[in-house]
Chains A and B, each alone.
Chain A
Amino acid sequence: ELKVEQNPLFLSMQEGKNYTIYCNYSTTSDRLYWYRQDPGKSLESLFVLLSNGAVKQEGRLMASLDTKARLSTLHITAAVHDLSATYFCAASSLNAGNMLTFGGGTRLMVKP
């Protein structure tokens, strides 16, 4: 059974600082997703990572994947208040029809 764990669960940071969210998954997975969720809203897709060593960047967010370690990271550079949200990673396998298994989420609060 695929399990996904994120840490930290909660992250309070100052604007301008850098930080990393970690996502571990338990079994071989073809795909690793990162989503953002604002309070009371649905999920917004940020990144899809497919292969070992994959790195994707959008603005102040950069995601990477290490399939050997079964680890993905979401790095935040020079955080701004607008990045405050909950971030989820999710893993899936094409063999399992791409049904997503989510981590518990990381609630990010960026303080001015």
Chain B
Amino acid sequence: DAGVTQSPTHLIKTRGQHVTLRCSPISGHKSVSWYQQVLGQGPQFIFQYYEKEERGRGNFPDRFSARQFPNYSSELNVNALLLGDSALYLCASSFVQGALEQYFGPGTRLTVT
């Protein structure tokens, strides 16, 4: 079975632009969480979605938004990019919200110049 997939792998954007990152969970998993990992730091929780509804939000500005689709895939959108948004964005999927195991995808490396 395929694991969690994320696209794109890498991308470079300019300050002020908008970006969309995509995540496909493991087949059968209904919950997706997004984390931001700035270089040299631990990941920080951004959003959690379960059954297409937002179930949790971390301490991130409104420039960050997300949604989950009927097939349980998810998008993370970031508007008005800042240099500080440069990071590895990780998606994690789990069978249900609160499931013991979360499986992380390979991540999307975003560089903002």
Contact at B101–A104, with CB atoms within 8 Å?
A: no
A-B pairs with beta carbons under 8 A, tally: 58
Question: CB-nearest residue of chain A relative to B33?
Answer: A99
- Asked if A68 is an interface residue, CB under 8 A from chain B, the answer is no
Within 8 A of A (CB), among B63-113: 90, 92, 94, 97-107, 109
| Other-chain residue from A40, A41, A98 in contact with B97 (beta carbon distance below 8 A) | A98
Contact at B43–A102, with CB atoms within 8 Å?
A: yes
Question: In the complex, which residues of chain B have a beta carbon less than 8 angstroms from the beta carbon of A110?
Answer: none
Contact at B41–A105, with CB atoms within 8 Å?
A: yes
Most buried by B among A43, A94, A96, A105: A43
Bound CA–CA A33/B90 (angstroms)? 16
- Asked if A52 is an interface residue, CB under 8 A from chain B, the answer is no
| Other-chain residue from A40, A48, A101 in contact with B45 (beta carbon distance below 8 A) | A101
- Asked if B55 is an interface residue, CB under 8 A from chain A, the answer is yes
Question: In the complex, which residues of chain B have a beta carbon less than 8 angstroms from the beta carbon of A101?
Answer: 45
- Asked if B44 is an interface residue, CB under 8 A from chain A, the answer is yes
| Other-chain residue from A40, A48, A104 in contact with B41 (beta carbon distance below 8 A) | A104
Most buried by A among B35, B50, B109: B35
Question: In the complex, which residues of chain B have a beta carbon less than 8 angstroms from the beta carbon of A112?
Answer: none
Q: Mark A39-73, 1 if CB is under 8 A from B, else 0.
A: 01111010010000000000000000000000000
Question: In the complex, which residues of chain A have a beta carbon less than 8 angstroms from the beta carbon of B106?
Answer: 41-42
Contact at B58–A99, with CB atoms within 8 Å?
A: yes
Contact at B98–A100, with CB atoms within 8 Å?
A: no
Given A97-B97, A98-B97, is A43 in contact with B45 using a C-beta cutoff of 8 Å? no
- Asked if B24 is an interface residue, CB under 8 A from chain A, the answer is no
Bound CA–CA A43/B103 (angstroms)? 8
Supply 8 A–B pairs (Cβ within 8 Å), ascending by A: A42-B107, A45-B102, A98-B100, A98-B102, A99-B33, A99-B48, A100-B92, A105-B41
